[in-house]
Amino acid sequence: MTHVYGAHMERTNGCGSCDLPVNQPQVVVSRGNPHASLMLIGEAPGAREDELGKPFVGRSGQLIDRLMESVGLDPQTDAYICNVVKCRPPKNRRPTLVEIASCRPWLQQQIELVDPCVIALAGSTAVEAILGIKGGITRLRGQWQHWQGRLLMPLLHPAYLLRNPSPVDGAPVALTRGDLLEVRQRLIQVNRNAVVPMLDSSRRRLP
């Protein structure tokens, strides 16, 4: 697995399927555990991700990490984190359909190599890329979907949570934490990988 995954990383870094890599310093592939039962898929790298070469390491990533930790998930050991598109679109715009299609084979290879039981889709771009459902993330979030024999959980994108930071019950942050708790509980049920014992969520505070 390690050798095969390393070869995948090398091939991805040499990708020239679209114009995005031309002015980018590096391709942003993944972070976390390639043996995890959970995969988190976002939209595309931002400036910080482009700088460090890892997805979800800017403000959005820091927030999703805190939310995962608040339900007992370790982002580094319990999840494999990546994006639909591996290169940063100019001015952080949304990826085009051509860019998404160009990166889709790489994403599919990641899914097949990691072979997660559960996939969390952060934001409408990830939902559209995987499920083919356009828009409606506020309606879809929190509802389990089935795809290629896997369970998928649509989540609000953490960038949206940063714009709506209220921690009160029913607000986007609390809803996303609840959705991640559902993911956590499902991972315990499938019992694919060693996940730490369920912690009392009532004792954990929102980020």
What average pLDDT does the segment 106-124 reach?
Answer: 97
pLDDT score recorded for residue 32: 98
Closest by alpha carbon to 120, among 153, 144, 143?
153
pLDDT score recorded for residue 111: 98
> 14-28, 40-54, 117-131 — which is least confidently predicted?
14-28
Contact 18, 89 (CB under 8 A): no
3-state secondary structure of 22: helix
What average pLDDT does the segment 7-29 reach?
Answer: 64
Query: In order of start, what are the domains of the chain with their CATH numbers?
Result: 2-203 (3.40.470.10)
Q: DSSP letter string over 101-139?
A: HHHHHHHHHHHHHH--SEEEEESHHHHHHHH---S-HHH
Q: What is the pTM of this model?
A: 0.86
Residue with tokens 């790298």: 45
